[in-house]
Amino acid sequence: MADVPPYSGTPPWVKVFGIIAVLIVLLFVHRLFTTGGGHARHAPSHAPADHPASESAPAGHGPIGGGHR
């Protein structure tokens, strides 16, 4: 009968997968702290200069203080 080789440790593909997983987690944590919670893509943009916010607001939701009458 052939001799079974001794246990050689963790297979290389498991080590590579583990390293990639750790790097992805570290990138996620880094982005979480550098973008203020990761909501930067979903933040509303400011109104362009030629379209004030009061014009783009729905009816009844004008600027505070009454607006134009």
State the sign of the Cα–Cα–Cα–Cα dihedral 45, 48, 53, 57: negative
Averages of pLDDT over runs of 10 residues in the chain (69 residues) are 79 96 97 74 59 56 61
Cα separation, 12 vs 7, whole angstroms = 13
Structure confidence at residue 6 (pLDDT)? 84
